[in-house]
Amino acid sequence: MKRKIYNELLDWKNKPDRKPLLLQGARQVGKTYIVKAFGHEQYRNFHHFNFEKDPILKTFFKGSLDPKTILNSLSLYIGKKIEDSDTLIFFDEIQVSPEAITSLKYFCEEAPEFHLIAAGSLLGVSVGKKSSFPVGKVDFLTLFPMSFSEYLSAFGDELISEEIEKTTAAEPFHEALHNKLIEKHKLFLYLGGMPEVLQSYLKNGDIARVRNIQNSILDAYKRDFSKYSENEQAIKTSEIWNSIPYQLAKENKKFKYSYVRKNSRASAYENAIEWLKNAGLVYPAYNISTPKLPVAGYSDRSKFKLYMSDTGLLGAMLNLTSDIIIRPSEIFSEYNGAFIENYVAAEFMAKYNKELFYWTSKNDAEVDYVIEHQNNIYPVEVKSGLSGSIKSLRSYQDKYEPKLIIRLSPKNFIRDKEFLNIPLYAASQITRIIRSI
């Protein structure tokens, strides 16, 4: 399946000042798959070393971290000389070996001729704890679950995906095309963007198998809680994780520690939330009450919402049944629109990889997201239904007079003076559409 990150890997390969690349991302988002495809298609030689599957690899990094010494040992181990030309070296699940992470510094400084990619599901959790992290000596990329655009391409609708990515919102899509996209979007909300899930459904069309795979992924995440954190911390991480779907199902989706455990305090759970964030499993959206630039500087880090990285996994944790896909609009409104807000969070992260923010006023008005773009701030309200109400957007508009107020909803493109409605399936194109306007 095509991934948009492939072009970014090509850019990395051709950089004149290329450094070893750290590819981050949650478990099972497709890091190994995309690097293997890239290695086989773009290089004459490809060497894959998985530190989790082959624990012996760690021993090659226990002594000298001189790159030539390491590569000589690895060459002897695989019985083939690792050349420095037209060759990609892949250190997979590198978080298992802190010394291997440290070695990237020396590959950058002493062996820049080698093309080296390192990946790990829990790099954000592991780096810097037991070793010296190579600050400034590596390039970074992050792989997220598949976006709706990538899903369309994988399922044979690449032309439609391209049409969404070039729209200026000047005219609404043809009603037949819009309705087709809404139906495909409903299925995507249930399936989510985990590559194994989409590959299975593409091959077999078996919705029951999809749920089994989603549950297996969730089980793997839970095992990671214990594997990569202390006992007490693992329990707290699991408690936070299990509470997220039900926090999102509330009318007010602001995260409350009391929903995790009665009378619990932030100090007891902050590390657990940070663990989940660094593992790529949750996306916090922080509150602002005053929309000024830079938005991050005016955020209240004690008030936030926690979204999951994938709507399919959210549905699995809530035991959402598959018959909801064929009902007219239930999946949009189910659990107070939790799936739609979560979907938008995931689309924004996959597209922009920036922190998320939402706005509240003292009078209980709330706008789901605020976007900082080209020295302007835009309020974005997410609607799960066809209701025309934009009360909170109007409240924001009256206070701050933004150039545009934006609603994401199941409706088609609508432009009315400063008001813009963008269909949910085009959420990832929001900044490009703003520029076109």
Which residues, other chains included, contact 285 with Cβ-Cβ below 8 Å and sequence gap of 6+? 304, 305, 306, 307, 345, 356, 357, 358, 369
User: Residues of 247-267 as b/e, b for ≥16 C-beta within 10 angstroms?
Assistant: bbbeeebebebeebeeeeeee
Q: How many residues are there in the chain?
A: 437
DSSP code string of 182-221: HHHHHHHHHH-S-HHHHHHHHHH--HHHHHHHHHHHHHHH
State residue 135's pLDDT score: 79
The predicted-structure confidence for 296-353, as pLDDT tens digits, reads as follows 999 999 999 999 999 999 999 998 888 877 676 666 666 768 889 999 999 999 999 9
CATH 3.40.50.720 fits 5-142, yes or no: no
Residues in the chain predicted with pLDDT less than 70, given as ranges, are 124-132, 326, 328-334, 336, 388
State residue 386's pLDDT score: 79
State residue 203's pLDDT score: 95
Residue of 209, 200, 211 lying closest to 1 (CA atoms)? 200
Domain ranges, ordered by start, for the chain: 5-142, 148-436
State residue 128's pLDDT score: 45
What residue type is assigned to position 419 of the chain? F
